[in-house]
Structure 1
Amino acid sequence: MSFKIAIIGAGSVGFTKKLFTDILCVPEFKDIEFALTDVSEHNLQMIKAILDRIIEANRLPTKVTATTDRRKALEGARYVISCVRVGGLEAYADDIRIPLKYGIDQCVGDTICAGGILYGQRNIPVILDFCKDIREVAETNVKFLNYANPMAMNTWAAIEYGKVDTVGLCHGVQHGAEQIAEVLGAKSRQELDYVCSGINHQTWFIDLRLNGRPIGKDELVAAFEAHPVYSQQEKLRIDVLKRFGVYSTESNGHLSEYLPWYRKRPDEITRWIDMSDWIHGETGGYLRYSTETRNWFETEYPQFLEAASKPIDPEKRSNEHASHILEALETNRVYRGHFNVKNDGVITNLPQDAIVESPGFVDRFGINMAAGITLPEACAATCISSINVQRMSVHAAISGDIDLLKLAVLHDPLVGAVSTPEEVWQMVDEMVVAQAAWLPQYAHAVPAARERLSTSQVKTREWAGAARRSVRSIEELRAEKAALAQAG
């Protein structure tokens, strides 16, 4: 087989390498072309050198090109994969820092909440630029695979306004299933069968079977509470399981910021989170982790390049959906996974225009979703609150309507539990002014926002958050890795 895959945001080096090696685990794909594109020439050259080393070590005929000219990379592509973070860590830091001034403590801030909504405002205009190029220069039946957050908003914009055949991909479902299999004592992940449905980062395991035996709420609660690690790391998630009756796919830290109940009082936050790793609820945890990862990669790049000389091991192919989808579409080997698509009857009690995440099957005829799923009422209610925010956020990003943007942020569950309308209006003004370089659709609104900020009487506070950690130095990271290696 010979076809072209374009990866936008390929400078996300670690993730691009994973996608690349996963795809090359499919024997029929050795002759394909990867076209890498990114706004950073520096990152592009680093990842290209790594992928070239992999090709050389495995004696493959695979072709890799790298260019900052996105349109050139997209020419003739059959598949386009997006891993972009518009604004990079600079804008992301504002997504965490500015809401903290108004009492909004986020762990990740990339899906909804104040940070996720502004992230969507930066991404959506760029996503539409991608879609324009895809329509004009890619293969006629091109498929766009979006990995970038905010998943639902980006996918919604690409389908509704970009008019490109798009599927959103995430690994939250797989990670949740791995946890459940472990606490239930499964010998392998294959023993666990499940139906997981909802919206991205708020997906629910509504049917669980271990070797064909149904697993109920009480058994699952008992299994998690008995686990020596998850009982501490997933306290909030377990509490939601007890109250809703079903387990959420999303990590303790992520889930905490999508709900209005657990992060609204600073003195309560530490009760529900765990500081053993960023993902369990640390304030700005993913920002810290991402910063450390970038610094580590820049410093230790020679080691990454050396590691690329190892043979590709198909047994280590990851559970990221992309390679499995491409394999199913191209070879007709059927793949079952969980995909983000427009609802259109997939989930009966969620809005039909929403982007839902639910089970589907892939073969040469495409992605075929299982339809007619009904969520438990509490799960649906929680999802609908986020969907309403997502819809307003997408429409604001398309129109450049700053008033609609403020209403979207106001209706966010955690923001609404913490902040007053006056605080929300000022916070959005501050975020739009700070991120103006990445928000062209709001250029007309920036001068007035800046003027309002100069005369505002709304009080803010300088606050690091309830559970903040400092970015660790390279020396500290080295010491920690050495200690882990010695302990292992």
Structure 2
Amino acid sequence: MSFKIAIIGAGSVGFTKKLFTDILCVPEFKDIEFALTDISEHNLGMIKAILDRIVEANGLPTRVTATTARRKAIEGARYIISCVRVGGLEAYADDIRIPLKYGIDQCVGDTICAGGILYGQRNIPVILDFCRDIREVAETNAKFLNYANPMAMNTWAAIEYGKVDTVGLRHGVQHGAEQIAVVLGAKSPRELDYVCSGINHQTWFIELRLNGREIGKDELIAAFEAHPVYSRQEKLRIDVLRRFGVYSTESNGHLSEYLPWYRKRPDEITRWIDMSDWIHGETGGYLRYSTETRNWFETEYPQFLEAASKPIDPQKRSNEHASHILEALETNRVYRGHFNVKNNGVVTNLPPDAIVESPGFVDRFGINMAAGITLPEACAATCMASVNVQRMSVHAAISGDIDLLKLAVLHDPLVGAVSTPEEVWQMVDEMVVAQAQWLPQYAHAVPAAKERLSKSLVKTSEWAGAARRNVRSIEELRAEKAALKQTG
């Protein structure tokens, strides 16, 4: 087989390498072309050198090109994969810093809440540019695989306004299933069968079977509470399981910022999170982790390049969906997974225009979703609150309507639990002004926002958050890795 895959945002070096090696685990794909594109020539050079080393070490005819000219990369591509973060860590820092001034403490801030909504405003205009290029220069009927957050908003915009065949892909379902398999004592995650449905980052394990035996709520709660690690790292998720009756796919920290109950007061935040790793609820945890990872990669790049000389091991192929979807579409080897698509009856008690994450299978005919799934009422109610925010956020990003953007932020569950309308109006003005270079659709609104900020009477505070940690230096990271290696 010979076809072209374009990866936009390929400067996300570690993730690009994972997708690349996964795809090359499919024997039929050795003759394909990967076209890498990014706005950073520096990052492109690093990832191309790594991928070229992999190709050379494995004696493959695979072609790898790299260019900052996105349209050139997309030209003739059958599959386009996006893993972009518009504004990079600079804009992301504002997604965390500015809401903290108004008492809004986020762990990640990339899906909804104040940070996720502004992230969507930056991404959506660029997503539509991608879609235009795909329509105009990609292979006919090309498929767009979106890995970038905010998943639902990006995918919604690409389908509804970009008019491109799009599927959104994340890995929360796989990771949640691995946890459940562990606490139930399974020898392998393959022993666990499940139906998981909802919206991205609020997906719910509504049916569970271990080796064919149905697993009920009480057994699952007992298993999590008895686990020596998860019982302290996933306190919030276990509490939601106890109250809702089903387990959420999303990490303790992520889930905490989509709900109005657990992060609205500093003392409540520290009660429900765990500081052993950022993902369990640390304030701005993913921002710290991303910053450290970037610094580590830059410093330790020679080691990453050396590691690329190892043979590809198909047994170590990851559970990221992309390679499995491409394999099913091209070879007709059927693949079952959980995909983000427009609802249209897939989930009966969510709106038809919502982007849902739900089970489907892939073969040569495409992605085929299992329709008619009904969520438990509490799960549907929680998802609906986010869907309404997502819809308003997408429409605001398309129209450049700053008043609609403010209403979207106002209706966010956690923002609404913490902030007054006056605070939300000022916070959005402040975020739009701070991020104006990445928000072209709001250029007309920036002068008035600056004027309002100059006269504002809303008080703010320079708050680091309830559970903030400093970015670790390279020396600290090396010492920590050495200590972990010694302890095994």
TM-score (norm 2): 1.00
SS at match of 2:261: coil
**Structure 2 partner of 1:186:** 186
**Structure 2 partner of 1:275:** 275
Deviation at 1:267, TM superposition (A): 1.2
Unaligned runs of 5+ in 1: none
Deviation at 1:114, TM superposition (A): 0.1
Residues of 1 paired with 2:41 and 2:450: CA distance? 34
Residues of 1 paired with 2:351 and 2:271: CA distance? 34
Residues of 1 paired with 2:270 and 2:485: CA distance? 29
Moved over 4 A (4+): none
**Structure 2 partner of 1:40:** 40
Residues of 1 paired with 2:383 and 2:177: CA distance? 20
Where do 1:279-290 residues align within 5 Å? 279-290=279-290
Residues of 2 paired with 1:137 and 1:91: CA distance? 30
Deviation at 1:164, TM superposition (A): 0.1
Residues of 2 paired with 1:273 and 1:267: CA distance? 11
Residues of 2 paired with 1:208 and 1:283: CA distance? 32
Residues of 2 paired with 1:63 and 1:52: CA distance? 8
Residues of 2 paired with 1:96 and 1:164: CA distance? 32
Deviation at 1:141, TM superposition (A): 1.1
SS at match of 2:257: helix
Aligned identity (percent) is 93
Deviation at 1:429, TM superposition (A): 0.1
- 1:294-326 per-residue CA deviation (whole Å, 9 max, x = no partner) reads 000000000000000000000000000000000
**Structure 1 partner of 2:156:** 156
SS at match of 1:309: coil
Deviation at 1:14, TM superposition (A): 0.1
SS at match of 2:182: helix
Residues of 2 paired with 1:278 and 1:189: CA distance? 24
Q: Residue 98 in 1 paired to residue 98 in 2?
A: yes
Deviation at 1:64, TM superposition (A): 0.2
Residues of 2 paired with 1:226 and 1:18: CA distance? 34
- 1:274-307 per-residue CA deviation (whole Å, 9 max, x = no partner) reads 0000000000000000000000000000000000
Residues of 2 paired with 1:24 and 1:143: CA distance? 19
SS at match of 2:302: helix
- 1:412-467 per-residue CA deviation (whole Å, 9 max, x = no partner) reads 00000000000000000000000000000000000000000000000000000000
Residues of 1 paired with 2:337 and 2:21: CA distance? 19
Deviation at 1:18, TM superposition (A): 0.1
- 1:20-41 per-residue CA deviation (whole Å, 9 max, x = no partner) reads 0000000000000000000000
- 1:205-231 per-residue CA deviation (whole Å, 9 max, x = no partner) reads 000000000000000000000000000
Residues of 2 paired with 1:297 and 1:363: CA distance? 37
Q: Residue 392 in 1 paired to residue 392 in 2?
A: yes
- 1:358-395 per-residue CA deviation (whole Å, 9 max, x = no partner) reads 00000000000000000000000000000000000000
Residues of 2 paired with 1:451 and 1:140: CA distance? 48
Deviation at 1:189, TM superposition (A): 0.8
- 1:74-110 per-residue CA deviation (whole Å, 9 max, x = no partner) reads 0000000000000000000000000000000000000
- How many aligned residue pairs are there? 488
Residues of 2 paired with 1:115 and 1:161: CA distance? 23
Deviation at 1:268, TM superposition (A): 1.1
Q: Residue 209 in 1 paired to residue 216 in 2?
A: no
SS at match of 1:283: coil
TM-score (norm 1): 1.00
Residues of 2 paired with 1:148 and 1:105: CA distance? 22
SS at match of 1:262: coil
Residues of 2 paired with 1:329 and 1:82: CA distance? 19
Where do 1:8-407 residues align within 5 Å? 8-407=8-407
- 1:17-71 per-residue CA deviation (whole Å, 9 max, x = no partner) reads 0000000000000000000000000000000000000000000000000000000
Deviation at 1:191, TM superposition (A): 0.5
Residues of 1 paired with 2:385 and 2:303: CA distance? 45
Residues of 2 paired with 1:462 and 1:137: CA distance? 48
Residues of 2 paired with 1:336 and 1:229: CA distance? 30
Residues of 2 paired with 1:471 and 1:187: CA distance? 37
Residues of 1 paired with 2:31 and 2:141: CA distance? 20
Residues of 1 paired with 2:233 and 2:69: CA distance? 44
Deviation at 1:481, TM superposition (A): 0.3
Residues of 2 paired with 1:125 and 1:373: CA distance? 32
SS at match of 1:258: coil
- 1:183-204 per-residue CA deviation (whole Å, 9 max, x = no partner) reads 0000111110000000000000
Residues of 2 paired with 1:469 and 1:165: CA distance? 41
Residues of 2 paired with 1:180 and 1:189: CA distance? 8
- 1:308-361 per-residue CA deviation (whole Å, 9 max, x = no partner) reads 000000000000000000000000000000000000010000000000000000
Where do 1:380-459 residues align within 5 Å? 380-459=380-459
Residues of 2 paired with 1:268 and 1:6: CA distance? 45
Residues of 1 paired with 2:110 and 2:367: CA distance? 26
Residues of 2 paired with 1:146 and 1:39: CA distance? 18
C-alpha RMSD of matched pairs (Å): 0.2
Residues of 1 paired with 2:61 and 2:344: CA distance? 42
Residues of 1 paired with 2:18 and 2:479: CA distance? 26
